[in-house]
Structures are given as C-alpha cells and as structure tokens.
Structure 1
Amino acid sequence: MTTEIDSPQAENGDPVPESSPSDAAVTAPRTTLRWWPAVLLLAAMFALRMIPSVMEAPGLPLMMLSFMGPAALGILLLFWWCFASRASLREKMVGTAAVILIAAVSIAVLHFSLQGVFAVVLVLPTGLAAFALGLVVMSRNARWRLPIALLLSLVTFGYWDLRQNEGATGAFRTQLLWRWQPTAEQRYLEELAERQQRPTPLSDTTAITLASAPWPAFRGSDRSGVVRGVTLDADWDRSPPKSLWKQKIGPGWSSFSVAQDRLFTQEQRGELEAVICLDATTGQLIWEFTYPSRFWEAIAGAGPRATPTIADEGLFALGADGILLCLDAVTGGELWRRDLKQDADRSPPTWGFSASPLVTDSLVIVHAGGADDKGLFAYHAETGEIAWSVASGNHSYSSAQLATFFDQRGVLMLSNDGLQFVGVEDGRTIWQHEWALENYRTLQPLVVGSTIFFTTSTQEGTRRLTVSRGDDGSWNIADDWTSRDLKSDYNDYVYFEGNLYGFDGGIFTCVDAETGQRHWKRGRYGNGQCILLADSGQLLVATERGEVALVDASPEKLNELNKLQAIEGKTWNHPVLIENRLYIRNAQEVACFELALAGGGVAEE
C-alpha cells in the first residue's frame, strides 16, 4: 500500500516551489540558537570581573586578566555568534555589522575620561555581553532575538556615552558621574573664582627655614611617618574632635609640609598646576603659585602627586608633569625651575612624576627615571644647576630618602631595579640590592637601625634587609626574609616595638618585624594611610573613605579606639599631625581638626 503526500500549495492552489537547504539557511532564521557556549562565556566574563572584589591584593597577572579578559571574551562572543550559534547567515551578517557599528560610534563619542583603557575594560565587554545576553534569552524566538539583542547592546553602549569617570578606588571600582554633572574639580574652580575676589593679605612672617618647620617634608623630616611628643585622649565621646575648618581643594595627591603655622601643598586648577600656602589656623589662602601644566590619567585623575619640601634655600615642589620649582616660602615668588622631561629626556611615567624633593647639603634630589645615568638627579638648591645624576631604574613613584649606616650618610632610592644607596656629594654607588621587576615601586623604604624594610608592589610583598660592614670597609646586605603578609601598594607602613603596621591590600594588618609573619589582619579601611604617635603607641589611620581611625598599636589584635568621618571622597593622601592638630586632605576637600590630648588637654569650645 502506497501513501501519497500532498505537496504544499499556496492560497491560490498553485504548488509552492521547494527551497533547497542552503536557501533556507540564508533566508530563514533557525528556531533555536545553540546558546550554551554564550552562557559559558558570559559566566566567565562575570567571574573575571569579580576578581578584584573577592580577592585581596591579587597579583598583577590576575589583575590584568580581570581587566583585559572580559574584552577578549567579548570578542569570543562575536566568534560564537558568527560560527557556532546556528543562526542564519543573514542574521549573522546583519547582527555582526550592526553591533560593530554601534560599538564604534559609542566609543567614538565617549567622554574623554572613559576613552582608552576604560573603553576596553568596561565599555566594550558590557556592550558585547548585552548583545549576547539578548540572543541567549530570546534564543527560541527567531523573529525578535536579533532586534532585542541589538537594542540591549545599543542601550548598554549608550549608557556609557552618558557617563564620565572621576577615577577609581584602590580596588579599581570606577567613580562615575553623569556626563552633565560638574566634577569636584569644576565645583572647586567655581568656588575658587569667588574666593580669589577676596584676596587674603600676606601675614607678617619671618623667614621660613628648616628649623621653623615641625613637618618639613613628605611623611616628616625622615619620611618615617612618626610623630613624637603627642598622646591623644582616646575617649572621643567625652572629648570629641573639634572641626576648626574645612573647605574645597583642587585635585592632587600631595600631603602637607608645615612651618610657622603655614601649610604647603599642591593642587590642580584646570590647565594650571598650583603650589599653595594656607593659614594652618583658618585655612585661608595666603599665596599661590600657578603655572601651565596638567597631568591626567584614568585611575587617579588629575593633579600633582608629590609633596613640597621646606628648606633653608626655599620651598621645593615637583609637579606631576615634571616641573621642579624653587619658590620663596614666604611670598610664593619663583626662584628657579627645571623640567625633568628635558633633563631626563623622557615623558612622564604612567602615573606622573611623584618624587617629593629631598633637600640636604644644599642639594635637591629627585627621581626622574631617565635612561642611562639620568635616573636620579641632584640639583644645586641655590641655582637649580645639575650637580650630578646617576642611573636609578625607570619606574618609581618613591622619593629619595636620607639615611646613615655605620657613619656613612647617603641617599636611599627605591626603583623597579631594586634598592640603591648612593653618596650625597656625588651620587656614587655605595651599595645596591638588586630586586628587579617589570612593575613599579611606590613606597618609602623604612629604616630601623641597620635594618631596612621595603616593598615591591601588590604581588611580591615586603622584604627585610640587614646592612653590615666589615673591618675592611666592605658592605654586606643580607636578605632576611620576604613576606606576602604585607602587600602594600602605595600605602606606607610604620614600625613600633618590633612590629610593622600597615595595609595588606585594603585591610589593615600587623606583621612581626623579625619574622615577617602576620599577627592579625583586620580593619577594612581600603587603601588608606597611617601615622604613628610613637610616645603613646597610637596610630592615626586615614581610610580610603575619608575617615580617621584612632588605633592602638598592639600585636595582640586590632583595637580601634575611635573613628571620625573627616572628609568626603577617595582619600589617598597622607595625613599630618602637628601637636594636637590633624590636617587631612584628598582630591576634593581639606580640613583641620583639633584632637584632645591625654591628661585633660580637651579642645576648647
């Protein structure tokens, strides 16, 4: 028995021509896509993006994987769509061309703060992920899946075109604003224009010298971050900190130098860098020195990175674009200037020139990182003429530091090549500890007697060296230990009674200075800074969120005595304590608080 199958007919009864399989592949979308490869790629993108959030201080390879991996997976999503999705050829061609066009137009009109690295890290992966997500969700709907996917991609890419970026936190979380919102810098410039219409007359001040400066340089006179002669009342409920003044300030990651009730710091003002002098009692601007210069990068934003240095010869300041200045500390008048870009024959490093000047023996010493012997420069403080220059790595955000070992004075300099100790007079190498790495170094070496602690960057941890000298004058630099229990990036640590206190990633920690082993790790302060009150064993910790915590320096546990919300915004700057006055700033605000002293030294109302 034979069964006959009727041929399909049109409404008029005529037979419908049969189409070949190849024609169907071109003209008709398949009913269901092969969606599971896209789901795996989307899950991998999400997992990579979460690495900085779930891991403390991941190493550089993992960080790069987290940053660049999602973009690579986004490209793989396009390959899935073109070669493994089971979509029709027409769908593939239209979808690929359309999403590439959307991405290209969107990236072309991004705000400048999201172009470059953020376009690769954020914009491209999320836009392509939205396209793939629409295809996966609508995989069974052959008619609407491509329009929905393109619409989701258009909305996602378009979202980024409406945003601008003010930088990123230490955990690389972006700080986004709507494109039409004024930035903190723009708000400051508006306020500054009004403030400058009411100039503050120069106060009567005698010559500012090193002797008149209780805090003459970055992290103090010896760059150790130690305050002596002060014990604070830990009961802030009974004697709360008193806000003396608070005001806006321009972008910059400078700290303060202090002399004769004056604060010296640096900031960005639009296309001008500025060195400013504030009245430490009132916060009023006493003088300013501006010059055309602007350095900006996507993570930290705009502004100077270094801190001015007070010396008998003047006030010395280095801008992020490499302008080294000598100013009159009383009036702000320029005495001389140099350009490290020209002297070192190089462009600014990734995050800008950051070396706070070291002034000693009538020399001004800064790291420039040029090739050959153009790494570390010494200038005559009176004239600005070059005294000497030596090789010193090409990637460092640390500052030259004076040190003495066995009656030998010299300059310690930390760079990507390692740690070197050179003569003050001529820059000759006294000794060098080689520990080269491709990444950068930021922190100050911490000297305790003949022992040195120094840090690489987030992935390698901290190393302890012991310096000794033989009877014949030869130097021996012993490598005692290297510990990953203290992985500081740009967050300096302090030494107290046999222990190191600082940041392991974004968490405060205490490490045994003899062994490098961790005592405790608590206190999620983010990427902040700390100073030590050596007489009392107290720590003032400035958190990344603008808080100030008073902490007991104890190896037993984290004992947070009190906490104050001092300023708003991301705070990477080092705080300063002069007697019982705390000075703190970030890229938006600057403030002064009076803290009660122990033994009845309560701040007056």
Structure 2
Amino acid sequence: MLRSLSSMALARREPRPTFIERMRTHTMKTETKPRRVRWWMPAVILALAAASLIYLQFSTDLESNFKSMQRFMTLALATLLLLLWLLFFSRLRWRTRFIGLGLFALMVAAFTQLARFDGTVDGSGAFRVVWKWRPKRDGNVGELKANPPTTNQLALAASADYPAFLGRDRRGVLENISLEHDWATHPPQEIWRQPIGLSWSAFAVAGARAVTQEQRGEKELVVCYETAAGRCLWAHTNYVRFSEFMGGDGPRATPTLENGRVLALGATGILDCLDAATGRLIWSRDTLKENGLPNLMWAKSSSPLVFEKLVVVTGGFTNGPALLAYHLHDGSPAWRVGTDKASYSSPMLGTIGGKPQIVCVNAGTVTGHEPSDGRILWEYTWATDKWAKCAQPVLLEGDRVFLSAGYGIGCVLLQVKGGADGKVSLTEVWKNRNMKSQFSNLVVRDGFLYGLDDGILVCLDLATGERKWKDGRYGHGQVLRVADLLLVQTEPGPIVLVEANPSHYREIARLDALKAKTWNAPALAGEFLLTRNDQEAVCYRLPLRSSHAKVALQSHR
C-alpha cells in the first residue's frame, strides 16, 4: 500500500513533456509506423483545375475578359490548395514538406528575378508578362523639340482632313477614298516612324498638321506633328499624370480640330483650347475639379465634340452632370445636364426626326439632347452601370440607333419616334448578344454592320440582328470602313484589309505596321494613314485605286 502511494507521488512530481518533445515523439511514431501519402488529393485538385481550364478554353458563352479572370482565379485557387495539402494533409515527412515549400519559394523568387508584369493587360483582360530586363514603358522617350514649319511643307486638300476621333462625323467611314486592293503589287510606302509617348489617343489631321496626345514622364502633352514628315511643330504641356494598372498611363481621348483651334481633353479632365498653328493656349478648364466630379476608374476617355459655337464633353463618375458644354470662343460654361454617370464613349452629333441631336452613351443610360441647351429629349435605360461602356453609338437612317457593349451586355437596335405632342417614344427593334463590342467602334455599309465581337470580326444584318459571318481573330482593335473595304487596326499591331461583304469573310491585305498592343484608332487623311500605340507612331502613304480618288497635294509657300 505504501509502495503504491509513493509511486503515485513520484508520478505526480514527474514534469509533463513539452510541446517540442510531444512533436518529436509523434514524429518518431509516425516514422516507425508510416502512413500512406494522400496522393489522391492533389490528383483531384489538378483534375478539377484542368477541367475548368478546358471548359474556359472552348466555352462560347463567356467573353474573353471573363475567361481571363476565371483562369487566374482557377490557377490561384489550385496553387493555394496544393500548398495546403503539402503542409497539412499530405502525410509526407515534415522534412519533405519543407523541401517542397522551399522549392515553391525558389520558383517564385526566380520568376520575380527573371520576369515582371508589364503593368497593363490586353483587351481580353490577360496580364502581360515580360522579361525583367526589358525597359519599362514610362513614356520617357526623350524631350520633344519643336521645329518651325518648312516653307514647302505638303498639305492635304481640305476634303481629306480627318479632324476628330473616327473622322469628321465620328462614324469611322470614308466613302470618297478608293484603296488599292493588292498590297503585294502596290505596297504602302512608309513615310516616317518614330517613338512616341504613352497614350491611347489617335491622330486628328487638318492640312499639314496631325495632332495627338501623349504622356512623357510627368508631362501630359498635346503634340502637333507635320503630317508628311513627322517633325514636331509644337507641344502644349500640362503637368499631370494619370496611372492605372489595367489601362495603363496617360491620356486616352483624341483631339478635335475646328476652325484653326485644337480642343483636347486630358485623362484627368483638363480641357484645353489651343491655336492649331502655334499651340498657344487660348483657354483651359479643369472640368472635373471645377464641377466637383470624381474621375472615372480608367480616366477620361471621351473626345470633345464641337457643335457650332459650343464644345461638349462628358462628366465624371457620379450621378450627374453627364454632359458639360462650354463656349468655344472663351471657355465659359454654357450648360450642364444629366443625372447619370459618364461612360468612356464620346458624345456624337446626328440627325433624328429631322433635327440635330447629341447622342451620348452614359454609364447606365443612352440619352438624346438638344444641342443648344443640352435639354434631354429622350432617355433609354441600358443594362447595368457596373460594366464599362466604351463603343460609340451608331446612328442609322430612319431614326434608328444601334448600341453595343462588352462584358456580357450585347447589342440592341432602337427606333426613335417623335409624337405630335413632342414626346419621344423608344422601341427595341431587336436585341441579342451577336455583337459585344468592348471598346472597338462599329461601321455600316448597305444595311450591314461590321465590328469586332469580343476580338473577332463579325458582320450583322441590321434589319434582323442575324449574324452573317464571324471570322478573323484581330483582338480588341479598331475598324474603319474605306468605301468597300474594312481597314482593321488589330490589337497586336498589324493592319489588315477585309472586304466589306455580307456574303463572306475575306482578308485581302496585311501590313505589319506596329508590333505591340494597339488600342488606338487609325486615322486616314487622304492617302496618308497615321497610326500609333503607346510606344511608336508611323505614317504610310497608301496606294489609291483610281486617279480621280487621289487627294490633291498642294505646295504651301
């Protein structure tokens, strides 16, 4: 009895094993009695990830930007689950687990040393990965040196001017130019090529001057180049810089040239009116700051619209005003209207019901306005305002308006009718998802519409909404119609010619104009094609098909 009690007392006095001792004992027992590794877990994880990626690759229901997001989420989740399996559920020896974790860390470190994200995504939302030693695109391509115009510079005839975004009327259509179809026999002639600052701006051309916007370092610039030589004639500077991961840095809008003036809207909302000959500042308005409006997520992208003595721009990312108008001669405010947020589309002037109207795509609505005072004549609630709307409305004969957007929204054809009482009624003629134009513009010929549907060229019958054909993977680029041809600036950089024919798709010519992501719209002023991206600009003289279509060149002395 006494012996038993003493044994119990000794047992009480023995110290409890520490956590490390218990783990060591557990490890020794585990190593002496090995358990089967749970290999089925990573097999299931990899199988599910592979099935998801295969589905995303071949699915026709999802747009490319949604696919890119889901691919990223699939790979990230699979990586996380594999790490959790390795550390906590694999039953591998702890030494093996730590070796595996170390190898993973080594691979991540190697990636960060050898490669980097470019800082932007493509039109499908996929991240751009480049080698780390490639120079970063910060817009520092050197200081611009202005040169006075030469005494015998070449100037285009006035009829060949391309003075605004998508041309004179923002329709992206040039009827009076007939391009040579065979570029193998009659190749385009490169006139000049040079580095350029960051921007998704296009060129606006009037006579001998081609004006665009750039970001060079901390300077946001409006720059005038000599059309046929590429020399900088003048540059206007604002010391601002807009930066955003997905869309990149710098301005997005295209200048508008009107009666010897340049109207340019910067990425942060600064509206400048400049003398087209010298670049002298006539007036300037900080449109967002003055009206207490926040900027859009991807910056101000809409180009200024000039109507008679007014210049019209869009608002900010708040519920109104959606449109702002200023007097052209001095920049004083004229009117401000609308209760919706602004979109990335540009206001457009057209004729509906026999009267001029400004049609504007907003974040959640489309509105028609009386140009003189901005009064809203009609309003169409269109999809959700959670997704960006960038494409231009297409104004058609018969008071019809075609709308298209990406992110699953699709397209709709509206009929606008004015009643005797002055009220306007809207009817959806048809609505489908056969055209999902994320930010590419659309063009029309003989009742058929052409454009890039999630990066693939499509022809639609406007009467029915029926798709006639879908072919040509050109990415999220831009399209012009030049008589019977489609001139497509592809997202990867090349320019292609495609027949504007509803019966078939046929690419007839290709030109390796640029070699990097290109979201900028091309500009065709007579026979001069000017295109650019956020790295370089180039000007070509395109071969014209008939002598009567050639643009007269004049010598200015």
What band does the TM-score fall into relative to the shorter chain? 0.7 to 0.9
Query: 2:135: which partner in 1?
Result: 182
Which amino acid is 2:101 matched to?
A
| Structure 1: runs of 5 or more not aligned | 1-18, 92-142
Higher RCO, 1 or 2 (CA under 8 Å, sep at least 6)?
2
Number of residue equivalences = 522
Query: 1:446: which partner in 2?
Result: 394
SS across alignment from 1:148:
helix
Show CA shifts across 1:466-495 (max 9, x none): 112223332111101112111110111100
SS across alignment from 2:521:
coil
Show CA shifts across 1:175-218 (max 9, x none): 333334313446x62xx34x63xx42245799x9x978722211
Query: Contact between 1:486 and 1:504, CA under 8 Å: does it hold in 2?
Result: yes
Select between 79-88 and 285-294 the one with higher mean Cα deviation.
79-88
Tell me the C-alpha RMSD between the 2 structures. 2.9
Report sequence identity in percent. 35
Show CA shifts across 1:87-135 (max 9, x none): 57xx4xxxxxxxxxxxxxxxxxxxxxxxxxxxxxxxxxxxxxxxxxxxx
1:529 to 478, 482, 485: 478
Query: 1:85: which partner in 2?
Result: 90
Query: 2:13: which partner in 1?
Result: none
Query: 1:14: which partner in 2?
Result: none
Matches of residues 346-357 of structure 1 in structure 2 within 5 Å? 346-357=293-304
The whole-number CA distance in structure 1 between the counterparts of 2:77 and 2:294 is: 30
Show CA shifts across 1:422-450 (max 9, x none): 12122221000111312110011000121
Query: 1:66: which partner in 2?
Result: 71
The whole-number CA distance in structure 2 between the counterparts of 1:392 and 1:477 is: 19
Matches of residues 403-552 of structure 1 in structure 2 within 5 Å? 403-437=350-384, 438-449=386-397, 450-534=399-483, 537-552=484-499
Query: 2:15: which partner in 1?
Result: none
Query: Contact between 2:194 and 2:536, CA under 8 Å: does it hold in 1?
Result: yes
Query: 2:236: which partner in 1?
Result: 289
User: Offset at 1:49?
Assistant: 5.9
Show CA shifts across 1:114-170 (max 9, x none): xxxxxxxxxxxxxxxxxxxxxxxxxxxxx4342133222332244135433332222
Which amino acid is 1:179 matched to?
K
Show CA shifts across 1:9-66 (max 9, x none): xxxxxxxxxx999932588565543233233334444555677755568247655433
Query: 1:256: which partner in 2?
Result: 203
Which amino acid is 1:324 matched to?
L
1:371 to 310, 314, 318: 318
SS across alignment from 1:239:
coil
User: Offset at 1:453?
Assistant: 0.6
Query: Contact between 1:53 and 1:171, CA under 8 Å: does it hold in 2?
Result: no
Show CA shifts across 1:205-242 (max 9, x none): 99x9x978722211112110011211111122221111
User: Offset at 1:260?
Assistant: 1.5
User: Offset at 1:299?
Assistant: 2.4
Query: 1:273: which partner in 2?
Result: 220
Select between 271-280 and 482-491 the one with higher mean Cα deviation.
482-491
Question: Aligned pair in 2 of structure 1 residues 366, 49: CA closer, same or farther (>3 Å)?
Answer: farther
The whole-number CA distance in structure 2 between the counterparts of 1:24 and 1:524 is: 60
| Structure 2: runs of 5 or more not aligned | 1-20, 552-557
* Residue 247 (1) aligns with residue 200 (2): no
The whole-number CA distance in structure 2 between the counterparts of 1:52 and 1:296 is: 31
Query: 1:40: which partner in 2?
Result: 44
Query: 2:503: which partner in 1?
Result: 556
Which amino acid is 2:40 matched to?
W
2:307 to 360, 363, 370: 360
* Residue 150 (1) aligns with residue 155 (2): no
Question: Aligned pair in 2 of structure 1 residues 550, 20: CA closer, same or farther (>3 Å)?
Answer: closer
Question: Aligned pair in 2 of structure 1 residues 313, 581: CA closer, same or farther (>3 Å)?
Answer: closer
* Residue 170 (1) aligns with residue 123 (2): yes
Which amino acid is 2:116 matched to?
Q
The whole-number CA distance in structure 2 between the counterparts of 1:238 and 1:220 is: 28
Which amino acid is 2:411 matched to?
T
The whole-number CA distance in structure 1 between the counterparts of 2:524 and 2:436 is: 26
Question: Aligned pair in 2 of structure 1 residues 394, 52: CA closer, same or farther (>3 Å)?
Answer: farther
Which amino acid is 2:91 matched to?
R
Report the TM-score, using the length of structure 2 for normalisation.
Answer: 0.86
Query: Contact between 1:552 and 1:559, CA under 8 Å: does it hold in 2?
Result: yes
The whole-number CA distance in structure 1 between the counterparts of 2:336 and 2:283 is: 19
Which amino acid is 1:160 matched to?
T
Question: Aligned pair in 2 of structure 1 residues 158, 258: CA closer, same or farther (>3 Å)?
Answer: same
Question: Aligned pair in 2 of structure 1 residues 85, 248: CA closer, same or farther (>3 Å)?
Answer: same
SS across alignment from 1:238:
coil
SS across alignment from 1:302:
coil
Query: Contact between 1:416 and 1:436, CA under 8 Å: does it hold in 2?
Result: no
Query: 1:13: which partner in 2?
Result: none
